[in-house]
């Protein structure tokens, strides 16, 4: 492969046609480089995979290192944790959002995109929803939390009332009101836990009596809080998933900002993942345990560990579909 690249680069530098004009010095040799109109093939080795790209027209073709994706694996330039370990369960049984490494279950099937009503859309839009947010994600915050001081509307028409408050770790770079509004939207539905008619949810200010707290925490703080609650959220030694600890729904900031590799590869919008992770972990707080995929091509139950695998199902953030509780086989 090294010899092939060396030969290709010599070939690219040596192309000259009659009448060509010499341009700026070559970055390889320091000698003037000819401008050519012919397309130049560039071979790029990317972490053991081979990507081919072209530069056409002026002869100033660009090296574009495109990730090489293998079936069931991550892009060669992607998240290393996507290929760690095996597909077996890890951590303690119970409310962890994790059982095996992301991407270990094979190719990702087509995505079940939520309806406009579920997504809260007013109509068609040309905007492309983000799959993940760019920029660095803090691994550690201050370990203290800021709370939303607003009360929210009661969600659900009947049933037992559960009060929740919302908090964001100081130093995470996230706004507590913005996070709180997205939690509220996920729990409001349509399709959320309140659709069964036996549950109502109400957001309360941070200093009011409450039943549980929804917290957004950096990965190291999330790992510590989950571990204190008896849940190990690590994959490859790094706190990866979110969890539910007694009285706490703990959302990992890494997942909130970047989703998970197999969702991103399949084009699942970040907003859908966020709705899923809130409803999944709140489901644990309400007493629901993990469920499996009910069949290839079907929506994944919200209590399936979608942060780690889909196993033939399509991504789904809602516990209720078409007004009915949607579930899979118990795990």
pLDDT in tens, 22-77: 333 333 333 444 443 333 333 333 333 333 333 333 332 222 222 322 223 333 22
Mean pLDDT within 139-168: 98
In a domain, 81, yes or no: no
Same domain? 32 vs 129: no
Q: Does residue 90 lie within any of the structural domains? A: no
48 and 116, same domain (yes or no): no
Task: Please give the Cα distance from 76 to 329 (Å, whole number).
Answer: 34
Cβ neighbours, 10 Å, residue 173: 15
Write out the residue range of the structural domain in which residue 285 sits. 97-325
Of 69-83, 144-158, 188-202, 234-248, the least confident: 69-83
Residue 309 and residue 224 share a domain: yes
Q: Are residues 11 and 126 in the same domain?
A: no
Count of domains for the chain: 2
Q: Kindly report the average pLDDT of the chain as a whole number.
A: 74
Q: Please check whether residue 188 is in contact with residue 229, taking contact to mean a CB–CB distance below 8 angstroms.
A: no
Residue range 177-201: mean pLDDT, rounded: 98
Residue 191 lies inside a defined structural domain of this protein: yes
Quote the tokens at residue 264: 């991103």
Are 43 and 177 in a shared domain? no
Between CA 170 and CA 186 the distance in angstroms is 23
Do residues 19 and 149 both lie within one domain?
no
Mean pLDDT of 205-222: 98
Residues 300, 157: one domain?
A: yes
Give the least confident one: 94-98, 176-180, 235-239. Answer: 94-98
pLDDT at 243: 98
In the chain, the percentage of residues whose pLDDT exceeds 70 is: 62
Contact status, residue 29 vs residue 14, Cβ threshold 8 Å: no
B/e letters for 52-88, b = 16+ CB within 10 Å, e = fewer, are eeebeeebebeeeeeebbeeebbbbebbebbbbeeee
Q: Is residue 140 part of a domain?
A: yes
Residues 232 and 124 in one domain: yes
Residue 88 has pLDDT above 90, yes or no: no
Structure confidence by residue, pLDDT tens digits, 278-287: 999 999 999 9
Residue 282 Cα distances to 34, 47, 163, 188, 248, angstroms: 63, 39, 12, 12, 9
Give phi and psi for 25, each to the nearest 5: -60, 145
Of 157 and 13, the structure prediction assigns the larger pLDDT to 157
- What percent of the chain lies above the pLDDT cut of 90? 61
Task: Identify the pLDDT of residue 127.
Answer: 78
Q: What is the pLDDT of residue 223?
A: 98
SS (H, E, C) 106-162: CCCCCCCCCCHHHHCCCCCCCCCCCCCCCCCCCCCCCCCEEECCCCCCEECCCCEEE
pLDDT of residue 252: 98
In a domain, 130, yes or no: yes
Bond prior to 89 in cis (omega within 30° of 0): no
> Do residues 308 and 168 both lie within one domain?
yes
24 and 118 share a domain? Answer: no
The answer to whether residues 179 and 249 belong to one domain is yes
- For residues 125 and 19, membership in a common domain is answered with no
Residue 63: inside a domain: no
From the CA atom positions of the chain, what is the Rg in Å? 24
Confidence (pLDDT) at 128: 84
pLDDT band at 126 (very low <50, low <70, confident <90, very high): low
Q: Is residue 70 part of a domain?
A: no
Average pLDDT in the 247-276 region?
98
pLDDT of res. 176: 98
Residue 222 lies in a domain: yes
Q: Which helix (H) or strand (E) holds 169?
A: strand 160-169
* 78 close to 262: Cβ distance less than 8 angstroms: no
């Amino acid at each position: 492969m090294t010899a092939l690249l060396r030969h290709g680069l010599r070939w690219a530098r040596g192309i000259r046609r009659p009448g060509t004009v010499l341009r700026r010095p070559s970055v390889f040799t320091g000698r003037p480089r000819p401008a050519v109109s012919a397309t130049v093939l560039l071979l790029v080795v990317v972490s053991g995979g081979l990507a081919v790209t072209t530069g056409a027209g002026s002869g100033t073709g660009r090296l574009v290192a495109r990730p090489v994706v293998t079936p069931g694996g991550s892009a060669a330039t992607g998240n290393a944790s996507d290929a760690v370990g095996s597909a077996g369960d890890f951590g303690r049984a119970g409310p962890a959002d994790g059982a095996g490494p992301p991407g270990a279950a094979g190719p990702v099937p087509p995505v079940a995109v939520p309806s406009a009503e579920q997504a809260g859309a007013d109509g068609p839009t040309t905007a492309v929803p983000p799959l993940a947010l760019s920029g660095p994600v803090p691994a550690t915050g201050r370990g203290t939390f800021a709370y939303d001081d607003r009360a929210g509307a009661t969600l659900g028409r009947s049933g037992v009332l559960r009060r929740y408050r919302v908090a964001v770790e100081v130093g995470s770079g996230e706004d507590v009101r913005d996070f709180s509004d997205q939690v509220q939207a996920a729990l409001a539905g349509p399709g959320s836990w309140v659709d069964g008619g036996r549950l109502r949810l109400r957001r309360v200010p941070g200093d009011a009596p409450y039943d549980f707290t929804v917290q957004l925490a950096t990965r190291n703080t999330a790992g510590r809080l989950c571990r204190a609650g008896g849940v190990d959220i690590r994959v490859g030694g790094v706190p990866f998933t979110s969890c539910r600890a007694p009285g706490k729904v703990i959302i990992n900031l890494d997942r909130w900002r970047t989703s998970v590799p197999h969702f991103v590869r399949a084009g699942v919008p970040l907003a859908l993942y966020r709705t899923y992770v809130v409803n999944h972990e709140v489901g644990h707080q309400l007493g629901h345990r993990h469920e499996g995929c009910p069949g290839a091509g079907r929506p994944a139950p919200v209590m399936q560990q979608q942060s780690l695998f889909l196993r033939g199902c399509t991504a789904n953030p809602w516990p209720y579909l078409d007004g009915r509780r949607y579930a899979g086989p118990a795990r």
